[in-house]
Amino acid sequence: MTASETDIIETTDLGCHAGADTLAAAASAAGKTELMAQFAEDYPKGPHDQPQSMCPAFGSLRVGLRMRRTATVLSGSACCVYGLTFTSHFYGAKRTVGYVPFDSESLVTGKLFEDIREAVHDLADPDKNDAVVIINLCVPTASGVPLELLPKEINGVRIVGIDVPGFGVPTHAEAKDVLAGAMLAYASEEIKAGPVARPTQSDTQQARPTVALVGEMFPVDAITIDRLLDSLGAAAGPVVPTREWRELYAALDCQVAAMIHPFYTATARQFRAAGRPLLGSAPVGVEGTAAWLEAMGELLGTDRASIDAAISTQKSAIRAALDNNPIDAKITLSGYEGSELLVARLLIESGAEVAYVGSACPKTEFSAVDADWLEARGVSVKFRASLEDDLIAMETFKPDLVIGTTPVVQKAKERAIPSLYFTNLISARPLMGAAGAGSVAQVINSALSNQPRMLTMEAFFEGVGDGPTSGVWTPEIIARTGVGGAS
Ligand code: SF4
């Protein structure tokens, strides 16, 4: 079947500049009402409804690029694709990002859809690929480019088309969920249709019930969780998003899905549909690990004595690691990875005073336990936090250390407050069990020791100017804008 011109609405005014409401209305008018309603349910907005970090579609692109034997293709404006390609290579993708370009004419006439179809056919080589992922960015989604009309499979290669518009998916974290959920949904249908390829699993995984781990995590964390599960008579299954297609079958075959990252709503829906129980939070710190082992043991049907033994062993090991790596500081923390609450729990158990935790992700049933735990300890927890929320928290609580996104860290540096970038320096470390307890404290204490250097730099640059008095201001610029000049 091909897309006709009537499948695609007039798109003359549908540039990226059109605004979220206009684009969302256009997408609904173009036949994507159901999609927009599902996004609204899965990724509730507010107080901000626009991405304040990188383009959300990066999350889906990254999931596709990390998967073996999978070709990932973008359909969107050239400027968006440039940014996404740049970011993916900055993060070491080392894979080709496919692109189907368009212009107003090919968008309006439906030629873009034909071009996408051709690209998908070209890539559907079973010797090279198990799957081809095609991602509609903002403008093609708003224009109703109907990826659902693509063939589901060509030469045995699966075709997975998804819409990931910034006006429906607020963060790149949630965009990972869009693709992970779509691939699990596809794999579920394959399982229902008949026998599927046997997943590559270790002897332990084959002999024991497995727990699928939902959320990208530091590799050591998956190993730590596997050891924890071993004491409950189970083994860690695949991490979702998976690295290869057949792992999707193994993931769906789990006994329990551990929602380590709480924002995977579409993914959770697929596990539920497969009849798998879901468990939120994660084994972080003494209390988090004990509660997780207790709940997981019950879901796995582990005997009481084994659960108690596992909790007792872990409690003493983690307590020792925390005591050996104390943190004595007031901290504010924010990020868009979805693991912010877990990190805050660990910091508090390490001795830190955490005044504020902001997450760009929404509150879900899987983060509720962590939010309650933090709020009971006086932490101000903000879901869907905006940059402004994070900055106000920094000004209000006057922390010794700020953990945050790039603009937050930049502001902290201007104030001579030691700061750490959440994505690169915190979320790229182990968090779980005893390994996590020691690791995070090291980087925090090292940053805190930089305080004298920050003050020296602040004194050195004093009087150089900031805000509208910084930079080079020619008399012409000052005359034209009314700002700038010497302070
Ligand atoms: S796809 Fe949408 S959210 Fe992403 S860069 Fe383009 S306009 Fe922005």
Q: Which domains does the chain have, with CATH numbers?
A: 5-170 (3.40.50.1980), 203-318 (3.40.50.1980), 326-461 (3.40.50.1980)
Tracing tokens 């910084």 back to the chain, one arrives at 470
- Nearest alpha carbon, ligand 1 atom 4: 55
pLDDT of residue 93: 82
Provide the pLDDT for residue 478: 81
* In 164-214, beta strands by DSSP E: 210-214
- From 16, 22, 100, 171, the mutation candidate for ligand 1 (largest count of ligand atoms within 8 A of CB) is 16
User: Is 354 in a helix, a strand, or coil?
Assistant: strand
User: Beta strands of 209-286 (E only): which ranges?
Assistant: 210-214, 235-240, 256-258, 278-279
**What pLDDT was estimated at residue 6?**
41
Give me ligand 1 centre to Cα 50, in Å. 10
Q: So what's the pLDDT on residue 281?
A: 97
Is the Cβ atom of 27 under 6 angstroms away from ligand 1?
no
Candidates 472, 332, 339, 350; CA nearest to 399 is 332
pLDDT in tens, the chain (487 residues): 334 444 444 444 565 566 778 888 888 888 888 999 999 999 988 666 665 778 999 999 999 999 999 999 999 999 999 999 998 988 888 889 999 999 888 888 999 999 999 999 999 999 999 999 999 999 999 999 999 999 999 999 999 999 999 999 999 999 999 999 999 999 999 999 987 877 777 766 678 999 999 999 999 999 999 999 999 999 999 999 999 999 999 999 999 999 999 999 999 999 999 999 999 999 999 999 999 999 999 999 999 999 999 999 999 999 999 999 999 999 999 999 999 999 999 999 999 999 999 999 999 999 999 999 999 999 999 999 999 999 999 999 999 999 999 999 999 998 999 999 998 888 888 999 999 988 889 899 999 999 999 899 888 888 777 766 777 778 888 888 777 665 4
If one residue of 55, 62, 143, 162 were mutated to test the ligand 1 pocket, choosing by the most ligand atoms within 8 A of its CB, it would be 55
Which atom of ligand 1 lies nearest, measured to the CA of 83?
A: 5
CA distance 44 to 361: 9
Alpha carbon of 363 to ligand 1 centroid (Å): 24
Residues with Cβ within 8 Å of residue 111, at least 6 apart in sequence: 102, 105
**Protein residue whose Cα sits closest to atom 3 of ligand 1:** 166
How far is the centre of ligand 1, averaged over its atoms, from the C-alpha of 137 (Å)?
A: 7
Tokens of 485: 């000049």
- Ligand 1 center–CA 138 separation, angstroms: 6
For ligand 1, is residue 175 a contact (CB within 6 Å)?
no
First to last CA, the chain: 66
Residue 8: what pLDDT? Answer: 43
Q: Does 16 sit in the ligand 1 pocket, CB within 6 Å?
A: yes
- Say what the pLDDT of residue 425 is: 85
Nearest CA to ligand 1 atom 7: 16
How many angstroms does the Cα of residue 108 sit away from the middle of ligand 1? Answer: 19
Which of 14, 77, 86 has the most ligand 1 atoms within 8 A of CB, as the residue to mutate?
77
Q: How far is the CA of 428 from the centre of ligand 1 (A)?
A: 26
What gap in Å lies between CA 336 and CA 358, rounded to an integer?
Answer: 8
Residue of 138, 145, 167, 171 to test ligand 1 pocket, by largest number of atoms within 8 Å of CB: 138
420 CB under 6 A from ligand 1?
no
Q: Residue 137 CA: which ligand 1 atom is closest? A: 1
CB 344 near ligand 1, within 6 Å: no
Cα dihedral sign, 449-453-456-457: negative
CA distance 399 to 419: 10
Instruction: Tell me how far apart the alpha carbons of residues 464 and 76 are, in angstroms, rounded to a whole number.
Output: 43
Within 10 Å of residue 449's Cβ, how many Cβ atoms?
10
Give nearest CA residue, ligand 1 atom 6.
80
Looking at residue 475, what is its pLDDT? 84
Atom of ligand 1 nearest to the CA of 16: 7
Q: Output the CA 197–ligand 1 centroid distance in Å.
A: 37
* 180, 63 Cβ separation under 8 angstroms: yes
| Cβ-Cβ contacts under 8 Å for 79 (sequence gap 6 or more) | 16
Return d(Cα 28, Cα 34) in angstroms, integer: 8
Say yes or no: CB of residue 251 within 6 Å of ligand 1: no
Question: Could you give the angle at the alpha carbon of 147 between the alpha carbons of 141 and 148, nearest 5°?
Answer: 120
Instruction: For residue 454, give the amino acid letter.
Output: M
Residue type, 451: Q
Interatomic CA distance for residues 272 and 349, integer angstroms: 33
Q: Are 434 and 290 in contact (CB under 8 A)?
A: no
| DSSP classification of residue 149 | G
pTM: 0.90
